[in-house]
Structures are given as structure tokens and as C-alpha cells.
Structure 1
Amino acid sequence: MRKILVVGAGQSGLQLALGLQSHGYEVTLMSNRTADEIRSGRVMSTQCMFHTALQHERDLKLNFWESQAPRIEGLGVSVAAPGSFDPGPSQRAIDWVGRLDGYAQSVDQRVKMAGWMETFAQRGGQLVVHGAAVGDLDYFSRAYDLVLVSAGKGELVSMFERDASRSPYSRPQRALAVAYVHGLGPRPEHPDFDAVRCNLVPGVGELFIMPTYTLSGRADILFWEGVPGGPLDVFNGVKDPAEHLRLTLELMEKFLPWEYARATDVELTDAGGTLAGRYAPTVRKPIGRLPGGGLVLGVADVVVANDPITGQGSNSASKCAAAYLASILEHGDKPFDEEWMQQTFDRYWNTAQHVTKWTNAMLAPPPEHVLNLIGAAGQLQPVADRFANAFNDPADFENFFFEPEKTAAYLAEVTGAPAA
């Protein structure tokens, strides 16, 4: 029986640990918090998982909250018109919703990670509650066939060298502010189904709204992404949750009045329902070298940390865990050497590279052909639907998003007009 150590109990670490456990591996999981501490703590993320990522959970029978979490059947994009202060539709330069082929879902990671961690322990896994340092891993690496690092923050990340060729940004591109709320009303134009709402304020930032399932049941996430130094960059140092919510709503009223109109009665889900911060999007080399000569393999956002503007974090973590699990199972009893580690990461990068390219593009001001594409989706439902479903499979953006010629050819194909 092969012994594997997983450091970090997020989406990727837990999914991978539970997957290995189900195949008979002897797995030790290190977490810096207990399940109860996670459950009673502050929200850790926004997350909206699309069909492929949800299917990875179903395949491992880990979809414990599927019947309780809202079914997200659409993804909408609204772009604020310049100088808009009226909640009416005339104040949206663009406004559409695409329908998803397979529904998406969001489960508060406090609920999911705590539940999965308890499941791992109940199934006989060894759970070590300890904040691991590099020195700890040096000691542990001698006792395990493979050490996987999925703790995306802190000292351990410093073991993985930044890959400059894949990391165009050296500083944060957005200031992030999250609030989990009860009491948000439906969008009046689509009250019959749940959708993620992507609201773009050119030059200022974005507000994402997504239905979720949290400790107290159905809720919604209000998630501002502000251009650093701009009018949305006001959450730094705000410790009081009520003040955080007040700022969130004040900015909605100013920049996105049609969303504010349905948020006038919201309240925070709990005292831990807010989060703010920022980080530089970074891709790192996948292999970490320990002082004693041992090697560790980085997982998910340890090695590929994208800005959350495209909602891919938990999706990428799930896909990374699935790819690594397959590589480990296929490898049998051969040593987990440096060559295998690089090949395993490369297998994940085949998927992740599309997410990174698209996310970095969305952080920059959109070129004219992308504005045309987003605008066309308001008149052409197939374009809106394809755009929405590319959140599940970002590789599809290669076919119609990045290059003006491909965008023009695609729009011509949909309208039946000759390409320009």
C-alpha cells in the first residue's frame, strides 16, 4: 500500500485525498484547522462550480449537498452604460443571459471542506491538524512515497519558483471584496431560474452575484472586483462586517443601480460572511525542493493561481485533483520521481493554460472584437449560450474569443452573413 501525504484541506487537497483513499491508498491529510474551526470561521472564497467540476465530485460520490444547493441554470452579463444612475434597462449598454447545458452550483467552502474532512477521518484517513512548515515536510517526506502540497498560501508556496514566462502580472490586478447575504430579490426579467450575474463597469471593476448554499441555507454572494486605486478599492482594513456590507451596497447603488434595486433588504448570513484581499495572478514551477533533497508536487492554486474574475478557482482545483488522481493511479508502484511530477503537472496544464490565458485577458481592457462579441450575445442567443458554457470548458474560447478573425468568422456563421 502506497503512502501519500496531502498538505492542505481545500477543494483540491480534500478531493484528492478522498479519491486516493477510495482506491486503497494510505493517505495522511494535514490541515491547519479542524473541521469545526473551518465551519465556524470566516468565508474562504467565492465559488461557482460548473458541470465538469461537479461531475468529478459526483464520480467520487462527494456531491453531498447537490440536492440542497441552488441549481444555477444561466450566466448573465451586464455592462453599465457611461454615467448610468438609473435602475432602468436603458442604463445597461449590454444585458443578456446565456443558458448552461448542465447546471452549475455553489457550496460555501466552510460547509464543504468541514464535511469532507470529517468524511475523510470517518473512512479511516489519518488527519493531522498542524500548520506545516518546510521543515516539517523535510521530516515527513522520508516516510511517504509522495508529498502533495495543496496549501495555496503561506510559507510552503515559497518552495515553488514563479514561472515568469507564464505570469505576465507581478502585482494584484483587482482588489477583492466578498459578502454572503440573505434577502436578495430575483432579477425581475428572469425570476424563474437562477443565474450567475457578471456586471462590468468599464474602467472601474466588476460585481459578480451568485446563488450559493451556506451554513444557514440558500444565500447569495456579492463579489466586487475593483481596479486597484479606483473607486471600488475601499475595503482594505475594514474589519467590521456591517461596515463591509454597507460599503458593498453603497457601491452597488452608485455603479449598478439595477442590482442594488433587489438588494435593499439584504443582511449578512453570519458574522464570518465577509472577506477582502488581493493577490497577484501567478503560475509557478510545479516541483518544490526540500532542504534535505526530497521533492514535493504542488497542486491547484499552489502552482496556478488565477484572479477569480472568471470564476475558475474551484473548477480548476477540482480538475487538477482529477488529473493528479488519474496520474497516480496509472503510475502503479513505480517511484514518484521528478520526471513523473513534471508530466503530472503538464497533464493538468493542458487544461489550466486555457483558464490562465482567458483570465489574464479579462483583467485587461477588452479589445474591440471582444466588445463586439459580448454585444452580439445580446441579440444572438446562441452566442450568449456559447459564452456561458465556455465557463465550463474555457478551451472553447480559443475558437471564437481571442483573435479578431475567429470572432468575426464565428459571428458570421451564427448570423449567416459573409465574414468581413
Structure 2
Amino acid sequence: MRKILVVGAGQSGLQLALGLQSHGYEVTLMSNRTADEIRTGRVMSTQCMFHTALQHERDLQLNFWESQAPKIEGLGVSVAAPGSWGEGPAARAIDWVGKLDGYAQSVDQRVKMAGWMDTFAQRGGQLVIHGAAVGDLDYFSRTYDLVLVAAGKGELVSMFARDPERSPYSEPQRALAVAYVHGLGPRPEHPGFDAVRCNLVPGVGELFIMPTLTTSGRADILFWEGVPGGPLDVFNGVKDPAKHLSLTLELMEKFTPWEYARATEVELTDAGATLAGRYAPTVRNPVGRLPGGGLVLGVADVVVANDPITGQGSNSASKCAAAYLASILEHGDKPFDEEWMRATFDRYWDTAQHVTKWTNAMLAPPPEHILNLIGAAEQLQPVADRFANAFNDPADFENFFYDPEKTEAYLASAAGA
């Protein structure tokens, strides 16, 4: 029986640990917090998982909350008319919603990670509650066949060198501010199904709204992404959750009044319902070398950390865990050497590269052909639907998004269809 250590109990670490456990591996999971500490702590993310990522959870029978979580059947895009704020209520220049082929879902990571961690322990997994330092891993690497690092923050990440060729940004491109709320009303113009809402405010930032399942049931996430130094970059140092929510709503009233109109009755879901921060999108070398010469393999956002503007974090974590699980199972009892580690990461990068390319493109001001594409989706429902479904499979953007000629050809064929 092969012994594997997984450090970090997020989406990827837990999914991988539970997957290996189900195939008879002896798995140790290290977490710096207990399940109860996670459950009662602060929100950690703005996860919205699309069909492919959800299917990886179903394949492992880990979709414990599928019947309770809202079914997100669409993805809507609204663009504020440039310059419309300031003189009066901001207007929408573009507004549409695409239908997803398979529904998406969001489960608060406090609910999911705590639940999965309890399941791992109940199934006989060894759970070590301890923050891991590089020195700890140096010791453990001698007693395990493979050490996987899935803790995306802190000292351990420094073992994985930044890959400058794949990391065009060295500074954070957005200031992030999240609030989980109860009491959000529906969008009156699109009744009948739940949708994620992407509100683009050119030159200022983005507001995302998504239905979720949290510790107190159904809720919605209000998520601002602000251009650093701009009018949305006001959450730094705000510790009071009530102040955080009031700032969120003030900005909605100014820049996205159509969303503010349904948010006048909202309240925070709990005392830990807000989060703010920023980080530079970074791709890293997947193999970390320990002082004693041992090697460790980085997982998910340890090695590919994208800005959440495209909502891919949990999706990428699920896809990475699925790819790594398959590589480990296929490898049998051969040693997990550096060559295998790099090949395993390359297998994940096959899909992750499309996420990174698309996310980095969305962080930059959109070129004219992208504006044309987003505008055309308002008139052409198939364009709206294809754009929405590319959130599930970002590789499809290669066919109609980056190259102005491909975009033009696609729009011409969609208009003629």
C-alpha cells in the first residue's frame, strides 16, 4: 500500500485525498484548522463550479449538497454605459443571459471542506491538524512515497519558483471584496431560473452576483473586483463586516443600480460573511525541492493561481485533483520521481493553460472585437449561450474570442444561422 501525504484541505487537497482513499491508498491529510474551525470561520472564496468540475465530484460520490444548492442554469452579462455614473443613475449598455448546457452550483467552502474533512476522518484517513513548514515536509518526505502541497498560501508556496514566461503580471490586477447575504431579490427581467451575474463597469471593475448554499441555507454572494487605485479599491483595512456590506451596497447603487435595486433588503449571512484581499496571478514551477533533497509536487492554485475574474478557481482545483488522481493511479508502484511530477503537472496544464490565457485577457481592457462579441450576444442567443458555456470549457475561447478574424467569422456565421 502506497503512503501519500496531502498538505492543505481545500477543494483540490480534499478531493484528491478522498479520491486516493477510495482506491485503497494510505493517505495522511494535513490541515492548519479543524473541520469545526473551518465551519465557524470566515468565508474563503466565491466558488461557482460548472458542469465538468461538478462531475469530478459526482464521480467520487462527493456531491453531498447537490440537492440543496441552488441550480445555476444561466450566466448573464451586463455592461454599464461608459461615463453614465456620476450624473445620475448608471445605465446598462448591454444586458443578456446565456443558458448553460449543464447547471452550475456554488457551495460555501466552509460547508464543503468541513463536511469532506469529517468524511475523510470517518473513512479511516489520518488527519493531522498542524500548520506545515518546509522543515516538517523535509522530515515527512522520507516516510511517504509522495508529498503533495495543496496549501495555496503561506511559507510552502515559496518552494515553487514563479514561471515568468507564464506569468505576465507581477502585481495584483484587482482588489477583491466579497459579502455573503440573505434577502437579495430576483432580477425582474429574467425570471424563472438562477443565473450568475457578471456586471462589467469599464475602467472601474466588475461586480459578480451568484446564488450559493452557505451554513445558513440559500444565500447570494456579492463580489466586487476593483481596478487597484480606482473607486472600488476601498476595502483595504475594513475589519467591520457591517461597514464592508455598506460599502458594497454604496458602490452597487452608484455603478450597478439595476443590481442595487434588488439588494435594498439584504443582510449578511453571519459574522464571518465578508472577505477582502488581492494577489498577483502567478504560474509556478510545479516541483518543490526540500532542503534534504526530497521533492514535493504542487497542486492547483499553489502552481496555477488565476485572478477570480473568470470564476475558475474551484473548477481548476477540481480538474487538477482529477488529473493528478488519474496520473497516480496509472503510475502503479513505480517511484514518483521528478520526471513523473512534471508529466503530471503537464497533464493538468493542458486544461489550465486555457484558463490562464482567458483570465489574463479578461483583466486587460477589452479590445474592440471582444466588445463586438459581448454586444452581439444581446441580439444572438446562440452567442450568449456559447459564451456562457465556455466558463465550463475555456478551451473553446480559442475558437472565437482572442483572434479578431475568428471572432468576426463566428459572428457572421451566427448571424446567418
Q: TM-score range by the shorter chain?
A: over 0.9
Q: Secondary structure at the match of 2:110?
A: helix
- Please give the residue correspondences for 1:197-346 in structure 2 after superposition, counting only pairs within 5 Å: 197-346=197-346
Contact persistence 2:86–2:254 (CA under 8 A) = no
**Cα distance, 1:191 vs structure 2:** 1.9
Deviation at 1:84, TM superposition (A): 3.0
Distance 1:391 1:87, change over 3 A: farther
Superposed, 1:164-179 pairs within 5 Å as 164-179=164-179
> Partner of 1:94: helix, strand, or coil?
strand
Preserved contact between residue 207 and residue 224 of structure 2 (Cα < 8 Å): yes
- TM-score calculated relative to the size of structure 2: 0.99
- Residues 87 and 100 of structure 1: CA distance in aligned 2, closer, same or farther (over 3 Å): farther
Q: Is the contact between residue 80 and residue 90 of structure 2 (CA under 8 Å) also seen in structure 1?
A: no
Shift in alpha-carbon separation, 1:124–1:33, aligned structure 2, 3 A: same
Following superposition, the deviation at residue 90 of structure 1 comes to: 8.8
Are the counterparts in 2 of residues 87 and 261 from structure 1 also a CA contact under 8 Å? Answer: no
Asked if the contact 1:87–1:256 (Cα under 8 Å) also holds between the matched residues in 2, the reply is: no
Distance in 1 of aligned mates of 2:378 and 2:242 = 36
Instruction: Write the distance in 1 (CA, Å) between the matches of 2:84 and 2:309.
Output: 23
Per-residue deviation, residues 105-135 of structure 1 (Å, max 9, x unmatched)? 0000000000000000000000000000000
Q: Structure 2 matches for 1:401-412, cutoff 5 A?
A: 401-412=401-412
Q: By how many angstroms is 1:83 displaced?
A: 3.3
Change (3 A) 1:317 1:96: same
Alpha carbons 2:11, 2:113 under 8 Å: kept: yes
User: Is this contact kept in 1: 2:90–2:256, CA < 8 A?
Assistant: no
Cα displacement (A) at 1:82: 2.4
Alignment check: 8 A CA contact 2:31 2:131 kept? yes
Provide Cα deviations, 1:204-258, integer angstroms capped at 9, x if missing partner. Answer: 0000000000000000000000000000000000000000000000000000000
Q: Indicate the SS of the match to 2:225.
A: strand
3-state DSSP class of the match of 2:142? helix
Secondary structure in 2 aligned to 1:86?
coil
Q: In the aligned structure 2, how far is the partner of 1:365 from the partner of 1:110?
A: 34
Larger mean CA deviation between 406-415 and 102-111 belongs to 406-415
> 1:317-347 CA distances to partner (integer Å, 9 max, x unpaired)?
0000000000000000000000000000000
Contact 2:90 2:254 in 1 (8 A): no
Any gaps of 5 or more consecutive residues in structure 2?
A: none
Matches of 1:284 and 1:304 in 2, distance apart? Answer: 6
Which secondary structure does the structure 2 equivalent of 1:143 belong to? coil
Please give the alpha-carbon distance, in whole angstroms, between the structure 2 residues aligned to 1:52 and 1:251: 34
Name the CA distance, whole Å, in 2 between partners of 1:227 and 1:273. Answer: 23
Distance 1:245 1:22, change over 3 A: same
Q: Is the 8 A contact 1:85 1:254 kept in 2?
A: yes
The Cα offsets for residues 10-61 of structure 1, whole Å up to 9 and x where unpaired, read as: 0000000000000000000000000000000000000000000000000000
Partner of 2:186: 186
Q: So what's the TM-score if we normalise by structure 1? A: 0.98
How far the C-alpha of 1:85 sits from its partner, in A, is: 5.0
Q: Is contact 1:96-1:384 (8 Å) kept?
A: yes
Secondary structure class of the residue paired with 2:356: helix
Is this contact kept in 2: 1:86–1:257, CA < 8 A? no
| Cα 1:9–1:246 shift into 2, 3 Å | same
Percent of aligned positions that are identical: 91
1:42–1:275 CA contact under 8 A, matched in 2: yes
How far off is 1:86 after superposition? 10
SS at match of 2:391: coil
Which whole-Å CA distance do the structure 2 matches of 1:415 and 1:224 have between them?
Answer: 34
Which stretch shifts more, 232-241 or 88-97? 88-97
Pairwise CA distance, 1:199: 0.1
Q: Report the CA distance shift for 1:87/1:17 in structure 2 as closer, same or farther (over 3 A).
A: farther
Contact 2:90 2:257 survives alignment (8 Å): no
Q: Say if 2:90 and 2:255, in contact at 8 Å, map to a contact too.
A: no
The offset of 1:190, in angstroms, is: 1.1
Q: Given the superposition, is the C-alpha separation of residues 290 and 6 from structure 1 closer, same or farther in structure 2, using an over 3 Å criterion?
A: same
CA contact (8 A) 1:72 1:195 kept: yes
Q: Determine if contact 1:74/1:196 at 8 Å carries over to the other structure.
A: yes
Q: Is the 8 A contact 2:288 2:297 kept in 1?
A: yes
Which runs of 5 or more structure 1 residues have no equivalent in the other structure?
none
Q: Distance in 2 between matches of 1:82 and 1:343?
A: 46
Quick check: 1:87–1:257 contact (8 Å CA) kept in 2?
Answer: no
- State how far apart, in whole Å, the 1-side matches of 2:415 and 2:377 are: 11
Q: Which residue of 2 aligns with 1:24?
A: 24
Q: Give the distance between the partners of 1:414 and 1:310, measured in 2 at CA.
A: 24
> What is the Cα-based RMSD across aligned positions, in Å?
1.5
C-alpha offsets along residues 361-413 of structure 1, whole Å, 9 cap, x if unaligned? 00000000000000000000000000000000000000000000100110111
Residues 251-289 of structure 1 show CA distances to partners (whole Å, capped at 9, x for unaligned) of 000000000000000000000000000000000000000
1:415 shift after superposition: 1.3
Q: Is the 8 A contact 1:98 1:387 kept in 2?
A: yes
Conserved? CA contact 1:85–1:257, under 8 Å: no
- The residue number in structure 2 matching 1:38 is 38
The Cα of 1:91 is off from its aligned counterpart by 1.4
2: distance between equivalents of 1:6 and 1:168?
29
Count matched residues.
417
Match of 1:378, SS state, is: helix
SS in 1 for 2:61: coil
